[in-house]
Amino acid sequence: MKAYIFPGQGAQFSGMGKDLYETSELAQSMFEKANQILGFRITDIMFEGTIEALKETKVTQPAVFLHSVILAKILDNFHPEMVAGHSLGEFSALVANGTLSFEDGLRLVSKRALAMQKACEIKPSTMAAVLGLADEIVEQVCATIDGVVVAANYNCPGQLVISGETTAVEKACEAMKEAGAKRALLLPVGGAFHSPMMEPAREELAAAIEATTFSTPICPVYQNVTATAVSDPNEIKKNLITQLTAPVKWTQSVRQMVQDGATLFTEVGPGKVLTGLVNKIDKEVATANI
């Protein structure tokens, strides 16, 4: 079975999407529509801007979303049998499988980016990558730290990202090293994504999601929150709202997709991070990048 996977924030690069704009009338139309919806010319930043400009919150998430969704739309023989996205990428996946329209997906992504930025400004928070420890040990260490720090991204065996209050994450990093981690290093991010620190953003995004039409998809989405196949629009909504404060269960999602019959994982969008993670989760499945 064909599984299509969509990258999240961090996959952006300067010049992204310019080749699509110049070679596809459909891509050009979608990019111009995005400029109108967002109220600024994101294409100018994507095609000609610096990587620093692409890191601005209101730009980063829509840019990665646009690149992935437009690429999927212009692909020949795009017939997904299952989809998944890492964090932000879940919105791209939901457009790709027909749950969300392109326009509604972009509006939600834009609202998500701005809401997350506001939540990040409330209290100092951050994330850190922990390498070389079992998931269970990382969870146990987090539970011993005073303050908010939780497992946020289960990326692949031996690679887990923690998230929370800055001081708590820093203490957790030291404790992880003492527990045998090969590395535990702070990440250059603006806040504690996929943690309780994002509760204000979750509340703000929930209203927008509830007001948006979600259709029955053409194939199931394996959502970050449950790591299971979901096709019911109401359940998809609920999980998408929870996603902001819950961990991304990527390892679990990929394993479940393989168990359910996935034999080829194709990453649609900038970068090759997700196929790299898939290869570490299951060395037997085939991967491809577009």
Is 87 tagged catalytic? yes
> Residue 9: how many CA atoms within 13 Å on its side-chain side?
25
Spot the catalytic one: 125, 194, 195, 253. Answer: 194
Q: Write out the DSSP string of 260-281.
A: TT--EEEE-SS-SHHHHHHHHH
Is 79 tagged catalytic? no
Spot the catalytic one: 67, 68, 86, 87. Answer: 87
Q: Write out the DSSP string of 192-248.
A: -TTSGGGHHHHHHHHHHHHTS--PPPSS-EE-TTT-SEE--HHHHHHHHHHGGGS-B
In angstroms, the CA 230 to CA 212 distance is 18
In angstroms, the CA 175 to CA 130 distance is 11
In angstroms, the CA 227 to CA 6 distance is 15
Residue with the two structure tokens 């692409």? 54
- The residue among 124, 90, 122, 85 whose CA lies nearest residue 109 is 90
Task: Take residue 183 and report the two structure tokens written for it.
Answer: 């590395």
Q: Which residues carry out catalysis?
A: 87, 194
